[in-house]
Amino acid sequence: MKDKVNCEEYCVASLDLLAGKSIIQRDSDDVNLNHIRNIYQSWLKICRDDEIYKQIQIKIFSDNIVLAINCKVPNAAEYLLEVVSWMTEHFLRCGYKIRGGITKGMLYIDDILVWGNALVDAYILESEWAVNPRIIISENLIEDISERTQKLMIPFDIDFYILDYLKGYGKNAAGYLETISIALKRLDEEPYINEKIKGKNDYLRSYLLKSKQYWESR
């Protein structure tokens, strides 16, 4: 009989590339395939080479990304938020919008399989509730996040706590302002498609302008 496996408590993020289906369908020359693959490769390398981040396991399927770290790791939630923030900012800088959900719960993950209620809960936050390009954080994870990080990076957005990923990790004001400028320019150049997409873009624009104001006041 093979060894029995069990779920353990993990912090889990489910991320989705907004308009992923459309990006894939319009990618006749494989430009986005290669661009996104390079982004994925860079993050896999970062997490494999770093002594702390290599404890974060990453699973990628097309335009969906799952990141998980065992809650036994000290500061597990903080490390996951840090990687998700850097990754989301990197995608935004490269022209791609991310939505997601982050939670805590029971999970099993290995090289073959990802399984458990935490995955389901994170996916529901991402697919059913995030809607706009934002990263929702479940209330059961808040207790694992330091007071400093909560005040700086976890605002309440009408209905859920969200991750303010353009604040606090990885870059100084100049670096974040450059990313914001690039993203705003892309939004200005993006053609109108329909009201649904316009609403998502308006949400992102509002977030970018608030972030710009924050960094310009530092």
Q: How do residues 165-204 score in pLDDT, each as one tens digit?
A: 998 776 789 999 999 999 999 999 988 888 988 999 999 9
In a domain, 51, yes or no: yes
**Total domains in the fold of the chain:** 1
CATH code, domain carrying 13: 3.30.70.1230
CA 218 – CA 206 distance, rounded (Å): 19
Q: How many CB atoms lie within 10 A of CB 30?
A: 9
In a domain, 140, yes or no: yes
Which pLDDT tens digit goes with each residue over 68-110?
A: 999 999 999 999 999 999 999 999 999 999 999 999 999 999 9
Please report which residue ranges of the chain form alpha helices under DSSP H. 20-25, 31-49, 76-93, 117-124, 139-142, 147-153, 173-189, 195-216
In a domain, 133, yes or no: yes
Beta-carbon-side half-sphere exposure of residue 183 (alpha carbons within 13 Å)? 28
Structure tokens at 200: 């998502």
| pLDDT tier, 62 (very low <50, low <70, confident <90, very high otherwise) | confident
In a domain, 200, yes or no: no
Look up residue 10 and give its amino acid.
Y
- As beta bridge partners, residue 137 has 102, 161
In a domain, 148, yes or no: yes
Percent helix, strand, coil in the chain, to 5, is 50, 20, 30
| pLDDT tier, 28 (very low <50, low <70, confident <90, very high otherwise) | confident
In a domain, 83, yes or no: yes
- As beta bridge partners, residue 69 has 11
Nearest 5°: the CA angle 164, 168, 171 is: 115
Reported residue count of the chain is: 218
In a domain, 43, yes or no: yes
Region of 164 (left: φ > 0; alpha: ψ -120 to 50; beta: rest) is beta
In a domain, 49, yes or no: yes
Look up residue 99 and give its amino acid.
R
Look up residue 87 and give its amino acid.
M
* Residue with the two structure tokens 């959900």: 101
Is residue 205 predicted with pLDDT exceeding 90?
A: yes
| pLDDT tier, 14 (very low <50, low <70, confident <90, very high otherwise) | very high
pLDDT value at position 170?
67
Look up the domain containing 52 and give its range: 8-167
Is residue 1 predicted with pLDDT exceeding 60?
A: no
> What's the rounded mean pLDDT across residues 24-48?
90
pLDDT value at position 192?
85
Which pLDDT tens digit goes with each residue over 123-176?
A: 999 999 999 999 999 999 999 999 999 999 999 998 999 999 998 776 789 999
**pTM of structure:** 0.93
